Amino acid sequence: MELDARYRFENYVVGSANRLAVSAARAVAQAPGAAFNPLFIYSGSGLGKTHLLLAIGHLARQLQPDLKVAYSTVDELVDELNASVASSAVDALRERYQNVNVLLLDDVQFLAGRRETQTEILRLFNGLQRGGRQVVLTSDRPPAEIADLDERLITRFSGGLVVDVGAPDYETRAAIVRVKCDERGAKFEAGVLDELARIPFGNVRELQGALNRLIASQTLGERAVTPHNVREVLGERPEPAGASAAAAVAAPVRARTGGSEFSSFLSDLSAVVAQQIEPWRIRLLEVMSRWREEGFLTAAIERALEGAEEPDVEATVRQYESAVARLQSLARDAQALDPALAASDLFRDPERLGEAELAVARLLGAAEPPPGPSADYVRSDFEVGPSNQLAVHAADTVIEEPGKKYNPLVIYGATGVGKTHLLNALGNELIGLRGGATTVACVSARQFTEELIAALRDGTIERWRARYRVVDVLIIDDVHECAGTERTQEELFHIFNALYASGRQIVLSMRCAPKQIDGLEDRLRSRFEGGLVVEMQAPDHVLRERLYARALAAAEVRHDRSLVDYLAARAVASVSEISSTVQRLAQAADVVGVPLTASFARKELEGRIAAPAMAHTGNGHPADPLFLDEEKVIWDWPDVSGRAIEEFR
């Protein structure tokens, strides 16, 4: 029987659903009887079993023209058998089939229930197998599921290779419609065929039917098919059946006239490329290629590509590209400061983002150092007494071992007890360490917030942040000032963590203990309390003595011991009060032209007491305001004559 010339491997589109079957079929055609014998191909209707079967026949005959290839459907075979029985020519029939080299038997599921035919087939089968002849069978179901099939046939059918052909996937459908379209010489607007392929037809015949409708609709219809109306056109079936039939008939004629070898070659390549390049790989490769061209390393993407499984592509890409964007912005920052660094590979490797951040931060820190401690405050000027010795001791420890022992060091106390002095002095001492290589940021919380606001306004937040992240010591005065702020505390939190994690010293001061500050975020408070929290109290007697002595000496006032004793006995709230008192006394004595003595001081001070509301007693308990109110205190008691007059009245 002549094989239908339309069905060849060249125009059989290979997709993932039929790859195995096609490979097996080709192997069989190239070496009949050697590879898979019998080859049993099963699939649903319209998926190309018959095409494949005939393609085997063509190729086998093409490779070995003297090969006897027989194709038959089971129905035809049954008819032949019946006819031969009727004409007593059964032996001739048997002989004819026994001599073929390749037997292609289509639709073997129709053997179901035909006992006599099955017996004949079995006999035929045994003969062919003995002779090493190739048998290829197709069915719509696997051998074991064919009803009433002889057990011996089932085992024989299953003895070679049983493969199935699945429904084509999108890419395969797209390739099929393109091949068919080329065969027809039909042309569609871009996207139409893709849209058609997107419709999940369960088999190729339906797909071809749909394509026929499109072709018919385009050639005979009043409107062009566009990607948008593909489904509509297919849904409403506007053309008479004859039109599409005519198109279908015209197709094979044109297919033979030229270009079909090329188009089948093309469709095969499409299948190979589609198989090789999964969409997620394409996406990743595109990203990789793009950034590689810009000079970035793409190790992260390459790792994702190496995996056999599809990763979370978008997340990978997002992560990578955000790192690249960050690198680019860092490189821009670096460019302004150090073009040589900006050109370094560091800014091309997203894996080393951390290093790049640090390098730029260093650069920025060096270019725009954060405010340091004021040089006016010197550690040696700082007098120590019982009220502040704990804090001073802690500060000295920090100077000895910054970042080691008390980190963070939190010093709290009322205004004017010397926190700022101690902090700045501490900062100055630390700068002196390592020959000045230590960078110390010393800033008040208010200033810190102002800087942050300015950076936010100028869009230089990264730079601002970077400056603080590279310091060796961070000192922030009056941290309570940032209570209630959001962004400042947020930034402080991150800077704190960055510094703390790398063992750099943090020193903070505040008005009261961290837990007493309203509006201080818990995450900050807990971190502050994790170091050493010490209180600085108002100057005690010993400290006052020292401070007055120093203040008097500084004011170049000649004085005696009794003056210092008198002054030191008076409670003060702050250190600054001591110096202002000394200044006032010195001025007053200067005006009057008398030496500054204890009695002069008493007269001067007890005559008018400044800022009574601020007063504290030496032991830290607030004094009763009654005794400090000038108007309520009787300063000049009446003398005897006065009292007599009073009594007389």
Partner 1 sequence: MPLVNYATREITCKIVYYGPGRSGKTTNLHYIYEQVPNDRKGTMVSLATQTDRTLFFDFLPLDLGSISGFNTRFQLYTVPGQVYYQSTRKLVLQGADGVVFVADSQARQLDENIESMQDLHANLAEHGMDVRTVPLVLQYNKQDLPAELIHDTATLDDALNFRGVPAFSAGALHGTGVFETLRGISEIVLRRLSPAGSSATPSTAHAGSR
Query: In this complex, which beta carbon is closest to partner 1, that of residue 51 or of residue 419?
Result: 51
To partner 1, the closest distance from the beta carbon of 276 in angstroms equals 5
To partner 1, the closest distance from the beta carbon of 231 in angstroms equals 22
Contact letters (x/-) for partner 1, 34-63, by CB under 8 A?
-x--------------------------xx
To partner 1, the closest distance from the beta carbon of 279 in angstroms equals 9
234 neighbors 210 (Cβ within 8 angstroms): yes
Query: In this complex, which beta carbon is closest to partner 1, that of residue 18 or of residue 505?
Result: 18
To partner 1, the closest distance from the beta carbon of 266 in angstroms equals 6
84 neighbors 93 (Cβ within 8 angstroms): yes
Query: In this complex, which beta carbon is closest to partner 1, that of residue 51 or of residue 379?
Result: 51
Classify each residue of 540-550 as buried b or exposed e, where b means 16 or more C-beta atoms within 10 Å of its C-beta: bbebbbbbbbe
To partner 1, the closest distance from the beta carbon of 167 in angstroms equals 18
Residues 164-183 that bind partner 1 (CB under 8 A): 171, 182
> Residue 324, interface with partner 1 (CB under 8 A)?
no
Residues 332-371 that bind partner 1 (CB under 8 A): none
Stretch that binds partner 1, among 84-92, 272-280, 557-565, 639-647 (CB under 8 A): 272-280
Residues 6+ apart with CB under 8 A from 125: 38, 135, 153, 156
To partner 1, the closest distance from the beta carbon of 124 in angstroms equals 27
Contact letters (x/-) for partner 1, 284-313, by CB under 8 A?
-xx-xxx--x--------x--xx-x-----
State whether residue 570 is helix, strand or coil. Answer: coil
To partner 1, the closest distance from the beta carbon of 349 in angstroms equals 20
State whether residue 52 is helix, strand or coil. Answer: helix
Stretch that binds partner 1, among 38-46, 91-99, 276-284, 573-581 (CB under 8 A): 276-284
Q: Which of 1, 272, 315, 553 binds partner 1 (CB under 8 A)?
A: 272
CA distance 399 to 434: 12
To partner 1, the closest distance from the beta carbon of 311 in angstroms equals 13
H/E stretch holding 302 reads helix 299-306
Stretch that binds partner 1, among 148-156, 249-257, 271-279, 503-511 (CB under 8 A): 271-279
Residues 6+ apart with CB under 8 A from 606: 635
User: 């290839």: which residue's tokens?
Assistant: 69
To partner 1, the closest distance from the beta carbon of 29 in angstroms equals 9
Q: How many residues are listed for the chain in this entry?
A: 649
Contact letters (x/-) for partner 1, 1-40, by CB under 8 A?
---------x---x----xx-xxxxxx--xx---x-----
User: 């048997």: which residue's tokens?
Assistant: 94
Which ranges constitute the DSSP H helices of 530-597?
541-554, 561-569, 575-592
Q: Which of 72, 134, 264, 485 binds partner 1 (CB under 8 A)?
A: 264
Query: In this complex, which beta carbon is closest to partner 1, that of residue 24 or of residue 585?
Result: 24
Q: What is the DSSP letter of 629?
A: -
To partner 1, the closest distance from the beta carbon of 31 in angstroms equals 6
574 neighbors 414 (Cβ within 8 angstroms): yes
Q: Which of 201, 139, 210 is nearest to 167 (CA)?
A: 201
CB-CB neighbours of 86 under 10 Å: 9
Query: In this complex, which beta carbon is closest to partner 1, that of residue 30 or of residue 576?
Result: 30
Query: In this complex, which beta carbon is closest to partner 1, that of residue 277 or of residue 299?
Result: 277
| Cis? peptide before 38, omega within 30° of 0 | yes
Cα 354 to Cα 300, 328, 358, 398, distances in angstroms: 15, 13, 6, 28
Longest CA pairwise span in the chain (Å): 171
Query: In this complex, which beta carbon is closest to partner 1, that of residue 14 or of residue 564?
Result: 14
Query: In this complex, which beta carbon is closest to partner 1, that of residue 298 or of residue 420?
Result: 298
Query: In this complex, which beta carbon is closest to partner 1, that of residue 22 or of residue 470?
Result: 22
CA distance 504 to 497: 10
To partner 1, the closest distance from the beta carbon of 47 in angstroms equals 17
Beta bridge partners of 529: none
Query: In this complex, which beta carbon is closest to partner 1, that of residue 287 or of residue 475?
Result: 287
CA distance 31 to 134: 9
Beta bridge partners of 137: 40, 105
103 neighbors 70 (Cβ within 8 angstroms): yes
- Tell me the site size for partner 1, rule CB under 8 A: 45
Beta bridge partners of 115: none
Binding residues for partner 1, per CB under 8 A?
10, 14, 19-20, 22-27, 30-31, 35, 62-63, 171, 182, 258-259, 261-262, 264-266, 268-270, 272-277, 281-282, 285-286, 288-290, 293, 302, 305-306, 308
